Structure 1
Amino acid sequence: MELVYPPVILACKTLFRVLDLKLDVQGAEHIPASGGAVLACTHVSYLDFIFCGLAGLPVNRKTRFMAKQEIFANRIAGPLMRGMHHIPVDRDAGQASYQQAVTALRAGEVVGVFPEATISQSFTVKGIKTGAVRMAAEAGVPVIPMTVWGSQRLWTKGHPKNLTQRHVPILIRAGEPFYPTPQDDQDALTQDLRARMTALLDQAQRDYPDTPQAADDPWWLPAHLGGTAPTPEEAAARDVR
């Protein structure tokens, strides 16, 4: 029985209405109404898991996200994360987290992952890890590429959070599923996944209805679109530091 997830969803939807966020979800039909699936999403904000999870709600799917262990150790967030059956990722024991995710997928759960591992400060898709493709292949389930765009304006790495900002458009896109198998070249499929995620993000950026106001620093736009976000190379150097 789901005791924690439904009230959390209700609280989030209430906040979205209060802030009058302009939620635009497309591609939700690609998420299966039953059976396991991996949602592989781009990562530009600390709030992406909330918006990514919205895509499954039209077919009554609740996504179990893989998230770093430190969140589960938090006295407030931890009980909520465990109550929603999210999956802790201990970077010192990554195989155990991977196997927990595979078990959930085989049990018919939708598992959400951020293959870039950390937030992209360049607002482009970084290099991604093979875990999403490998776990889908092992569990025999599809991978669904996804992107969220606009959430970085509310709360992202290197900028103060602004959870009172109103009328912000949030674009959520799910792409067509593909089905890795254990016989496939996992590295090649991972590069294919990255290309799919990049195409979704590029399209969301083109579709985005807002532009920075003349008086505003266009910090939330990537450099290749005229913004002041660091280039991918500069962002990689920041990550190392």
Structure 2
Amino acid sequence: MSRRRIGFWYRLAAVIAKPPLVVLFKRDWRGMEHIPADGGFITAVNHNSYLDPLSYGHFQYNSTRVPRFLAKAGLFKAPVVGMMLRGIGQIPVYRESTNALDAFRAAVDAIERGECVAFYPEGTLTRDPGLWPMSGKTGAARVALMTKAPVIPVAQWGAHLVMPPYAKEKKIRLFPRKTLQVQAGPPVDLSRFYDMEPTPEVLREATETIMAAVTAQLEILRGEKAPEELYDYRKVRAEQRRKAEEKGPK
């Protein structure tokens, strides 16, 4: 399978974004040898800052295998941003779609054409108090099992020091100069799932396997162990609601 050319729009985006990234940040990049030289593949990336797409995107661009992100469809309606997103081949996700196969068909098609599709499996910025990855959504696993494409786990760390997630004051902290760390690991082994019916249980287990691989890469970057269990935001919210209902009105 061939590989997607970087193209005019991606190069234009790089011309705009790379100079300030090079000047403002130090880089600690590891594992680029795990990025496939050709053929379609998936990257699964943790998410702890709004700066993440630039940090990870810089790493991936320099590997010469540019990623296609899944982005909210509403962003494509913005005059300038939408034109840029379409130009660099990003994939709109229509959240109102009730058919997961339709929602990710563009991702499947891109991979089958030999492209890289980047997923943030958590679906949003992590709510884990220690900024470890949360439990993931099943989209990346679903596409991986449909295509049998390699899934490369990617961890990043440092962008949160510049732009903290959920900070009360959205203040960018550029100084002292921060280091943006990105590490790619070897492909996640999902082969045991290939001949299984993609039931919710199978997709959940495959997703847990992917998230465990991403977390393992982040452990290497941080030099510490992650919690035994991934933070599950839905369970935490459900527990908070249960306790609030037990308290009742004051």
Same fold (TM over 0.5): yes
What RMSD over aligned residues (CA atoms) do the two structures have, in Å?
2.7
Pairing 1:183–2:198 present: no
| 1:119 to 1:24, Cα distance in 2 relative to 1, 3 A | same
Partner in structure 2 of residue 118 of structure 1: 124
The answer to which of 50-59 and 188-197 deviates more is 50-59
Instruction: Flag structure 1 segments of 5+ consecutive residues without an equivalent.
Output: 208-221, 225-230
Partner in structure 2 of residue 218 of structure 1: none
| 1:38 to 1:125, Cα distance in 2 relative to 1, 3 A | same
Aligned partner letter, 1:85:
G
**Offset, 1:170:** 0.8
Distance in 1 of aligned mates of 2:161 and 2:237: 22
**Offset, 1:56:** 2.9
Distance in 2 of aligned mates of 1:76 and 1:237: 36
1:105-164 residue CA offsets vs partner (Å, 9 max, x unmatched): 000000000000000133111110121122122123100011111111222432214164
| 1:161 to 1:71, Cα distance in 2 relative to 1, 3 A | farther
Normalising by the residue count of structure 1, what TM-score does the alignment of the two structures yield? 0.80
1:78-119 residue CA offsets vs partner (Å, 9 max, x unmatched): 211111101111111254330110000000000000000000
Which of 91, 101, 112 is the aligned partner of 1:106?
112
Normalising by the residue count of structure 2, what TM-score does the alignment of the two structures yield? 0.78
The alignment covers a number of residue pairs equal to 218
**Offset, 1:186:** 3.2
**Offset, 1:233:** 7.1
Which of 143, 148, 161 is the aligned partner of 1:153?
161
Instruction: Flag structure 2 segments of 5+ consecutive residues without an equivalent.
Output: 197-201, 242-250
Distance in 2 of aligned mates of 1:234 and 1:108: 34
Check whether the contact 2:43–2:119 (CA below 8 A) recurs between aligned residues: yes
Check whether the contact 1:65–1:86 (CA below 8 A) recurs between aligned residues: yes
Check whether the contact 1:43–1:114 (CA below 8 A) recurs between aligned residues: yes
**Offset, 1:55:** 3.2
Partner in structure 1 of residue 139 of structure 2: 131
1:163-190 residue CA offsets vs partner (Å, 9 max, x unmatched): 6445111110111113535315433222
Determine which structure has more spread, i.e. the larger CA radius of gyration: 2
Query: Among the aligned pairs, what percent are the same residue?
Result: 30
Aligned partner letter, 2:26:
K
Distance in 2 of aligned mates of 1:178 and 1:133: 11
Distance in 1 of aligned mates of 2:109 and 2:231: 35
Distance in 1 of aligned mates of 2:151 and 2:106: 17
